[in-house]
Amino acid sequence: MTDKLNVSIVGGSGYVGGELLRLLLFHPHVTVQQITSVSQVGKFAHTAHPNLRSATDIQFTHPDTLTECDLLFLAQPHGYSAKNIDHFAGLAGRIIDTSADFRLNDVETYARWYGEPHPAPDWLAKFVYGLPERYRAELSTANYVSGVGCNATVTNLALTPLAEAGLLAGGTVIADIKVGSSEGGARPNEGSHHPERSGAVRSFKPTGHRHQAEVQQTVGDDFDLYMSVTSIELIRGALVTAHCLLNQPVTEKDLWKLYRKTYKSEPFIRLVKQKTGIFRYPDPKLLPGTNYCDVGFEVEEGANRVVIIAAIDNLMKGAAGSAVQAMNVMMGWEETAGLDFPGLHPI
Ligand SMILES: NC(=O)c1ccc[n+]([C@@H]2O[C@H](COP(=O)([O-])OP(=O)(O)OC[C@H]3O[C@@H](n4cnc5c(N)ncnc54)[C@H](OP(=O)(O)O)[C@@H]3O)[C@@H](O)[C@H]2O)c1
């Protein structure tokens, strides 16, 4: 008998599934019951996730063989969770879905950004957006949690203090985001072919990025937000440089006060702002495998412009790490449980 929480991962062979498995295998309050995959049935986890060799002898099972568990993590491509949510809810009383299916709580907003009606509109209101820094109280009583968009998360955490202070109202933010290749998932495509992807500095989505809706839902929609995403030579990581035109001038001292006040008790947010040194601004290079979001800022002298810089590991704080953090909040456990890896240097 175990008093640990039995969890299963659907889509366990993907990059987010692999990170969830890595975190959950070493989580003090969790037992991993099943990991599913269509393409890897019967194979050991380390076939898809070689870093987990000797960490577990669990094998992939087909999604059709899923059995009841306490909490189900869903980590498949967009659309799959929403189409099967009634089935999954019959198997587990708690669900954390890392896809985009249940992130937006308004049906019309969903249809506008995803180009089709939501397949399970009645479920949208039951899900809480899985960003503990914004929805901790709601998550503590939630049974259904949506994961977070990686580019949305780094932008949300960059902008939250400004939004809460009312400095963005009527203003404009241009969030320029550089991202690594693992954002595209484990399945190869033409653009991920090594000769095409390696060395690329490729505009991926200069306008109309879907995560804009997630950010405006989270930090507010009383300002103009424009997001541009560029793929760079990086495997894990997202860095936002948010050019913010505020409704009034602020000083660096004001920003220090504001960001400290908002984030002083946050276990996974670090303010990074030094006068000297190569790591004086947030840099995703330091974050692979960690659940941190590093946030820094600078004021443009003589203008209402501030630049907020934030960095995450997209597979961690941008996906699996936030999902595990949200589980910790849901379960009333220490929020940092299973998430204490400090990263590597040099790397
Ligand atoms: N990558 C990121 O940085 C990131 C960040 C935040 C959120 N997310 C979200 O997390 C989810 C998983 O992303 P990922 O990067 O891990 O993707 P991925 O590496 O492509 O993995 C997707 C998983 O789903 C399964 N799958 C693939 N096609 C499927 C289909 N048509 N129906 C059902 N299952 C299918 C795959 O394995 P089998 O085919 O073997 O079953 C695999 O286990 C996505 O919804 C993504 O938007 C990703």
At 128-185, the pLDDT tens digits run 999 999 999 999 999 999 999 999 999 999 999 999 999 999 999 999 999 999 999 9
Do residues 192 and 142 lie in contact, with contact meaning Cβ atoms separated by under 8 Å? no
In this structure, the residue with its CA closest to atom 20 of ligand 1 is 185
Phi-psi label, residue 59: left if phi above 0, alpha if psi -120 to 50, beta otherwise: beta
Residues of the chain with pLDDT under 70: 1-2
Do residues 201 and 252 lie in contact, with contact meaning Cβ atoms separated by under 8 Å? no
185 C-beta closer than 6 A to ligand 1: yes
Rounded CA separation 255/57 (Å): 49
Specify the 3-state DSSP secondary structure of 271: strand
DSSP per residue, 236-269: S-EEEEEEEE-SS---HHHHHHHHHHHHTT-TTE
17 C-beta closer than 6 A to ligand 1: yes
Structure tokens at 69: 């568990």
Q: How many helices (H) and strands (E) does the chain have?
A: 11, 14
Do residues 200 and 146 lie in contact, with contact meaning Cβ atoms separated by under 8 Å? no
Distance of CA 182 from the midpoint of ligand 1 (Å): 11
Do residues 258 and 315 lie in contact, with contact meaning Cβ atoms separated by under 8 Å? no
Q: Which atom of ligand 1 is nearest to the CA of 101?
A: 45
Q: Which atom of ligand 1 is nearest to the CA of 78?
A: 45
The neighbouring-strand residues paired with 69 are 92
Identical topology for domains 5-148+317-331 and 150-314:
no
In this structure, the residue with its CA closest to atom 31 of ligand 1 is 77
Given ligand 1 and candidates 9, 10, 16, 80, which is best to mutate, with the most ligand atoms within 8 Å of its CB?
16
Is 150 one of the catalytic residues? yes
Do residues 240 and 176 lie in contact, with contact meaning Cβ atoms separated by under 8 Å? yes
81 C-beta closer than 6 A to ligand 1: no
Q: Residue 274 carries which side chain, given as an amino acid letter?
A: Q
In this structure, the residue with its CA closest to atom 4 of ligand 1 is 183
Distance of CA 319 from the midpoint of ligand 1 (Å): 11
98 C-beta closer than 6 A to ligand 1: yes
Distance of CA 274 from the midpoint of ligand 1 (Å): 37
329 C-beta closer than 6 A to ligand 1: no
- Cβ within 8 Å of residue 174, ≥6 positions away: 226, 227, 228, 242, 243
Helix H or strand E segment including 74: strand 69-74
Domain residue limits, the chain: 5-148+317-331, 150-314
The neighbouring-strand residues paired with 309 are 241, 296
For residue 301, with 0-12 CB atoms within 10 Å meaning exposed, 13-18 middle and 19 or more buried, which class applies? Answer: exposed
Structure tokens at 195: 């000769």
Reference 238, options 183, 161, 302, 187; nearest CA is 183
Helix H or strand E segment including 14: none
Rounded CA separation 145/153 (Å): 15
262 C-beta closer than 6 A to ligand 1: no
Exposure letters 232-265 (e unless 16+ CB within 10 A, then b): bebebbbbbbbebbbeeebeeeebeebbeebbee
pLDDT at 174: 98
- Which of the 8 DSSP states describes residue 232? -
Specify the 3-state DSSP secondary structure of 32: strand
* pLDDT tens column, 55-96: 999 999 999 999 999 999 999 999 999 999 999 999 999 999
Given ligand 1 and candidates 15, 38, 72, 76, which is best to mutate, with the most ligand atoms within 8 Å of its CB?
76
Do residues 254 and 162 lie in contact, with contact meaning Cβ atoms separated by under 8 Å? no
Specify the 3-state DSSP secondary structure of 89: helix
pTM for this prediction: 0.98
CATH fold for the domain made of 5-148+317-331: Rossmann fold (3.40.50)
pLDDT at 2: 57
Do residues 174 and 242 lie in contact, with contact meaning Cβ atoms separated by under 8 Å? yes
Q: Which one is catalytic: 69, 150, 244, 293?
A: 150
Tokens 């491509």, residue? 77
- In this structure, how many other beta carbons lie within 10 angstroms of the beta carbon of residue 106? 14
pLDDT at 1: 44
CATH of 150-314, one of 2.60.40.3880, 1.20.140.90, 3.30.413.10, 3.30.360.10: 3.30.360.10
pLDDT at 224: 98
